[in-house]
Structure 1
Amino acid sequence: MFREALRLRRCLLPANGFYEWRGTQRKRPYWLTPGEGASLFFAAIWEAYPVQEQVWLSTAVITQSAASQRRPLILDEAGQAAWLDPATPLHALQALLASEPAALRERVLANMVNDPKLNGPECLTPG
């Protein structure tokens, strides 16, 4: 299933940042962002699932190994073009997965981001 999606249904997911938890005993949330005014584009694949009378769309973000955990594969402009081009061979896609992770700004956040009832800008309060 994923092999076919990787070959035929690649997409990009735009983002302005993402969370990463770090620490050994008590993990702390970090907010990772690109430079000022820039956006991130995550490599992803998509799938369509027919359920009764509807079609459900699903995406999965492609990740790459980072120093301590997996991170979304963040693509620059050339990587975005290659990822979206159906003619890009599999070995070129694998090279993207092995590419150096993007340089990001990191900010420690308050632990309120861990509260599932909160889903607003207050989650980005520095810690």
Structure 2
Amino acid sequence: MFRSAFKSRRCIIPASGFYEWTGAKGTKTPHYFSSPDGRPLAFAGLWESAPNSQTNLLEDSTTIIVGPANEWMSCFHDRMPVILDWNDASAWMAGGDPGAFLRPPPEDALQEWIVSPRVNRSGVGDDEPTLIEPTVAA
């Protein structure tokens, strides 16, 4: 679906952070990952417009590109979002060589802490700022 978007419809998805879960099914522990300096992360993304099958109206969709985890992240998951250096944002948007961007970030690019399992409950306060506050694992 995103083959042509990779060539000509790139985007940057700014984010304060992202979640990853560890542990056994039913007892998973959520972790929050963010930039150590508090700056937004720049996820490499793609966008596409396609007709809605029911209305036939064009709808935009986006995807975050994921790739292999760096060594530090690999203890949490085997892949992670492709995080661009903000200095590379213009080159990514201009269609620069993807090989220069689609690589794991440096080991010190992220910080992590355990957050409340309430983050798993969709629809009820899922934009509540306290969901990213550090908590002690049960």
The TM-score, its normalising length taken from structure 1, stands at 0.83
| Structure 2 letter corresponding to 1:121 | P
Greater helix share, structure number: 1
1:78 is matched with which residue? 87
Contact 1:20 1:31 (C-alpha < 8 Å) held by counterparts = yes
Partner of 1:16: 16
The verdict on how the C-alpha distance between 1:62 and 1:31 changes in structure 2, with shifts beyond 3 A counting, is same
| Residue 103 (structure 2) aligns with | 98
Q: What is residue 63 of structure 1 aligned with on the other side?
A: 66
Contact kept, 8 Å, 1:10 with 1:46, in 2: the verdict is yes
After superposition, the CA RMSD in angstroms is 2.0
Q: Which aligned segments of 4 or more residues in structure 1 are displaced greater than 3 angstroms?
A: 99-102
The residue identity in structure 1 corresponding to 2:81 is: P
Residue 42 of structure 1 aligns with an amino acid whose one-letter code is F
Q: Is the 8 A contact 2:5 2:48 kept in 1?
A: yes
CA displacement 1:39-59 (0-9 Å, x = unmatched): 111000000012346321000
Q: Does the 8 A contact of 1:73 with 1:101 survive in 2?
A: no
Identity, in percent, stands at 37
What's 1:108 paired with?
A: 114
In the alignment, structure 1 residue 121 sits paired with structure 2 residue 129: yes
Q: TM-score, normalised by structure 2?
A: 0.77
Change (3 A) 1:61 1:101: farther
TM-aligned CA deviation for residue 115 of structure 1: 1.5
Which range moves more in the overlay, 23-32 or 42-51?
23-32
Unpaired segments ≥5 residues, structure 1? none
1:97 partner SS: coil
Aligned partners of 2:83 and 2:104 also within 8 Å: no
Aligned residues: 123
